Amino acid sequence: MKNVVLIGFMGTGKSVIGRRLANALGFRFVDTDRLVEKQAGKTIAKIFAEEGEARFREWEADVAKQISGCHACVIATGGGMVTRPENLGRLAGIRVALTARPDVILRRTQAHPGQRPLLRSANPLADIARLLAERAPFYRHADLTVDTSDVSIDAAVRHIQAKVIEIEGQAHSG
């Protein structure tokens, strides 16, 4: 069974949906942000504050290398993982892009204040819009794109699970 690789912006539901999807599929769940934190021995907010974004991207690239041998894993990537194409090259599998409207992303990310160093400015909505525009080309390349703005977590998981099984079936019959 292939991996399922979840990509997409902050606040689109990659971690929460990924964990449940892994359970539903009987796959292992891997969250690249949590692996970075484990290896760095500090939170992402602290890495950004003490070492800067460039160093965070190196931790992230290291983690992508380390998990490149995963099989039957659901991998939730950090929102910026896709900006280095070599990272995605290492994370083979069915690629599922999660999206959400900027207002929904703002609401979800503000619910956990201090956890998203890239959205700490006086105008996070403007930052969301700018980053979404910059990253649109990277998030576009996916086997499946799911807008999570107005659906429950359960509904998103069920939808993705059915599609993954369908895509996997096509791969084997073709």
Smallest gap from residue 118 Cβ to ligand S3P (A)? 5
How would you class 163 by CB atoms within 10 Å of its CB: exposed for 0-12, middle for 13-18, buried for 19 or more?
middle
Instruction: Tell me how far, at minimum, the Cβ of 92 lies from ligand S3P, in Å.
Output: 20
Q: Residue 102 interacts with ligand S3P (CB under 6 A)?
A: no
Tokens of 4: 């399922």
Instruction: Report the DSSP beta bridge partners of residue 28.
Output: 73
Q: Residue from 7, 33, 100, 142 that binds ligand S3P (CB under 6 A)?
A: 33
**Nearer residue to ligand S3P within complex by CB, 1 or 48:** 48
Segment contacting ligand S3P by CB under 6 A, of 10-18, 90-98, 138-146, 161-169: 10-18
DSSP three-state, residue 55: helix
Beta 28-31 vs 144-147: how paired, if at all? Answer: unpaired
10 binds ligand S3P (CB under 6 A): yes
Stretch of residues binding ligand S3P (CB under 6 A), selected from 16-24, 65-73, 115-123, 144-152: 115-123
63 touches 35 (CB < 8 A) = yes
Cα 105 from Cα 16, distance rounded (Å):
14
Contact region with ligand S3P (CB under 6 A), list: 9-17, 19-27, 95-103, 162-170? 9-17
DSSP 8-state secondary structure symbol assigned to residue 5: E
Q: Which residues of the shown chain bind ligand S3P in the complex (CB under 6 A)?
A: 10, 14-15, 33, 44, 78-80, 116-118
